[in-house]
Amino acid sequence: QTKQQLLAKWSKVENVTKIDYDLLKKLAAFALLIIIGILFRQYILKREHKKLQIAYGEVQKQKKKLKEQKKIYELIFDDAMDGILILDDGKFIDCNDSIVAMLKYETKEDIINRSPAQCSPLKQPDGKLSSEKVEEMIALAFKNRGHRFEWVHLNATGEEFWAEIVLTPVSIDKKEILHVVWRDISERKKLEFEIKELNRTLETKIETAVYALRRKDEILFKQSRLAQMGEMLSMIAHQWRQPLTAISATSSLIELKAKFNQLDNETAQQKANNISEYAQHLSRTIDDFRDFFKPNKEMKETSYDEVLSLVLGMIENSITNQNIKLHQDLNCHETFKTYPNELQQVILNLVKNAEDVLLEKEVKNGYIKLKTYEKNEKYILEVSDNGGGISDEIMVRIFDPYFSTKSDKNGTGLGLYMSKTIIEEHCDGELSVRNGSEGAVFRITLIKAEIGKNKYEE
């Protein structure tokens, strides 16, 4: 029995539970790592999912934006008033409806695959072949990254029209093509042609008008000359009266002495010399007046002193015989180039006008003053009198043609107008008038820098 009990005890398996804490720790750590890995994976997945969502949203936005841009581009391309084409390898591969309308085709397909030369006349206005010039324009566009020029096109009905062309290179899929814009400028060209023709006809009209004005001025000048010639003839008669009287008296004396046999050689020679001097005076008078009316086409060196001397030589006696005093205050002795005879005519006219005013108003102790001086690079001559001056109403019109204030109505109204024309247009000077303390003051101003320019040559 004891033996059996021992055998049973050894053969019986007894399960004794023993906890391995190290193993448990390892298992727990492994399980924790797995959990952490799963959680981290979930975090990464969520983060990437969020990024994908954001990226997807951006893609959708970009798609929407591209769609809108495409729509805008299509609107711009298709609805633009200007014609738009795409040119690739010398052929049109697309165009908008404006091009179809310009070229008067029915559809885009009628234009696509055509070359620019096929939509142009054989030659351009400059005489170059359209096919050759197209290549030049394309080459310039690629070289300068754009080119603008004008071109004559040919539509489907065979009509020519002008267009402004802009070629712009663009890159698509690493290939450069040309973006082409056409703008119909036929109306502008028509207006340019009309303006050009208008300018041409206007130039002709202006030339005709200028010629007519010059002819009018020539006629006025001649009328003024004729009027002045009448006055000069009167002065010539006055100038001649004294020497002619002296000649008549001398010849009568010679005749009387000869009749009574009292004419000796010395007396005859003396009286003959007197007659010769009187004759020479008459001859000089003729020369002075002849030179005065001789037109000047060439400028000559002169001075105010010389011109005034010639003028006074013709009219001084006439003025002094009217009990009018002549005062001279000459301080400008410089010489200059001008038209002496025309300047004489102006001065004579101013002096004669002053004389007429003094006589008409019956001014006592009347005088005419001639004053010359230099100021600020200008040569100035003033003709003044003590005739009371000019009213404001007359002052504003005094240089108008055919305007005269002479009470005897013998004035032509051309003297001052022509005087102003001579001084300002021929001599590049200025003729002005103002009222002084006792009467009118007419001033001739010759600018030193402008003196010497021949207006007849211009």
pLDDT digits (tens, 9 = 90+) for 126-140: 999 999 999 999 999
CB of 220 closer than 8 Å to CB of 414? yes
pLDDT (mean) for 82-111: 91
H-run or E-run covering 417: helix 415-421
Distance of alpha carbon 456 from alpha carbon 107, whole angstroms? 68
Neighbours of 193 (CB within 10 A): 10
Distance of alpha carbon 393 from alpha carbon 201, whole angstroms? 40
pLDDT digits (tens, 9 = 90+) for 224-263: 666 656 655 665 665 566 567 777 877 888 888 788 787 7
User: Which range, 186-200, 310-324, 379-393, is most confident?
Assistant: 379-393
pLDDT (mean) for 143-153: 94
> What single letter denotes the amino acid at residue 183?
R
- Using CB atoms within 10 Å of the CB of residue 307, give its burial: 0 to 12 exposed, 13 to 18 middle, 19+ buried: buried
Distance of alpha carbon 434 from alpha carbon 427, whole angstroms? 21
The residue ranking higher by pLDDT, 26 or 380, is: 380
DSSP 86-108: EEETTEEEEE-HHHHHHHT-SSG
Give residue 354's pLDDT. 92
pLDDT (mean) for 361-379: 93
Distance of alpha carbon 345 from alpha carbon 232, whole angstroms? 11
pLDDT digits (tens, 9 = 90+) for 43-69: 888 888 888 888 888 888 878 777 766
SS3 176: strand
H-run or E-run covering 152: strand 147-154
Distance of alpha carbon 32 from alpha carbon 385, whole angstroms? 131
pLDDT at 71 over 70: no
Radius of gyration of the chain (CA): 55
